[in-house]
Amino acid sequence: MIANTPDPPYYVVIFSSIRTEITENYSETSTMMLELAKTQNGYLGVESARDELGLTVSYWKDIESIKKWKQHTDHLIAQHRGRNEWYKTYKIRIALVESDYEFHQDQL
Amino acid sequence: MIANTPDPPYYVVIFSSIRTEITENYSETSTMMLELAKTQNGYLGVESARDELGLTVSYWKDIESIKKWKQHTDHLIAQHRGRNEWYKTYKIRIALVESDYEFHQDQL
C-alpha cells in the first residue's frame, strides 16, 4: 500500500538492493525489521517492491529518527547479515521530501 | 540496476502506484517514457520495481529538470492515460537527496 504520510517536509530513506542467492532467514528477518521499524520514534511509513532490483522506501519525521533506527541493535545485526549473506550490492539515499501530490481514481 | 548517480545534492521523484487491471498499451508506454526520460536535460537515472505496489524512483539534477519533464507533451499524454486507464491511485513525492552510501560485496 501507498504510505499515508503527513504533509511535507519529512525525510525518506531509499534502499535499493540486489540480492544474492542466499535466502536463509531473509524473509523472516525482513518482516521482523519492518515490524520493528514501525515501533520506532519518527517512523511515518514504508513502501517496497522487488523485481530484479529491490526498492524499500521508508519515511521518517527527521534525520535524528533515521540515525537512531540505523543504530538500533537488532537492526545492526540484520545489517551485518545483509552485507555478509543477502545483498550483493545496495545503495542508500537519504532525502528531504519537499512536496507531494496524489491521485485516486475514485475522486474522478 | 542501481542508478549510478553523482554525489549529492540532487533531486529524486518517488512515484508509488497501484495499477488497474487495464493493460492495453501500458508496458509499451512505460518503456517509451523511460527511454524519453533518459534524453531529458538533468536526468540522472531511474530505478523501479513492482509487486502489488509499483515504485519508480527517478533522479534529477534539479527541480527545474523535473518540472520540464512533467510538462513534456508526450509525457502529459501518458499521464492523462495513466489517470484514466492504468492507475487506481498514485502518489508522487519530490525530495532533495542530501547523502548516500553504498555497499558492494566484491569490495569485502
Q: What is the pTM of this model?
A: 0.95
Low-confidence stretches of chain B (pLDDT < 50) are 108
Q: Residue A107 pLDDT > 80, yes or no?
A: no
For the stretch A65-75, pLDDT in tens is 999 999 999 99
In percent, how much of chain A has pLDDT > 70? Answer: 98
pLDDT at residue number B106 = 72
Q: Residue A108 pLDDT > 90, yes or no?
A: no
Chain B contact set for A101 (CB, 8 A): 91-92
Task: Write down all domains in chain A, each with its CATH number in brackets.
Answer: 10-98 (3.30.70.100)
> Are residues A100 and B94, on separate chains, in Cβ contact within 8 Å?
yes
Please indicate if any CB of chain A lies within 8 Å of the CB of B93. yes
Which ipTM value was assigned to this complex?
0.95
Are B88 and A102 within 8 A, CB to CB? no
Chain A contact set for B52 (CB, 8 A): 1, 49
Q: In sequence order, which residues have a C-beta less than 8 Å from that of residue B55 and are 6 or more positions away? A: A47, A48, A49, A55, A57, B14, B15, B16, B48, B49
Please indicate if any CB of chain A lies within 8 Å of the CB of B90. yes
For the stretch A35-45, pLDDT in tens is 999 999 999 99
Pairing of strands B10-19, B87-104: antiparallel
Q: Residue A106 pLDDT > 80, yes or no?
A: no
Bridge partners of residue A45, in order along the sequence: A59
Chain A contact set for B108 (CB, 8 A): 83
Please indicate if any CB of chain B lies within 8 Å of the CB of A60. no
Q: Across residues A92-101, what is the average pLDDT?
A: 98
Q: In sequence order, which residues have a C-beta less than 8 Å from that of residue A77 and are 6 or more positions away? A: none
Choosing among B2, B12, B51, which should be mutated to test the A contact, i.e. which has the most A CBs within 10 A?
B2
For the stretch B6-37, pLDDT in tens is 999 999 999 999 999 999 999 999 999 999 99
Alpha helical stretches, state H, A9-94: 26-38, 63-71, 73-81
Q: Residue A97 pLDDT > 70, yes or no?
A: yes
Confidence of residue A101 (pLDDT cuts 50, 70, 90): very high
Chain B contact set for A93 (CB, 8 A): 5, 8, 12, 97, 99-100
Are A12 and B14 within 8 A, CB to CB? yes
pLDDT at residue number A99 = 98
Tell me which chain A residue has its CA closest to the CA of residue B17: A2
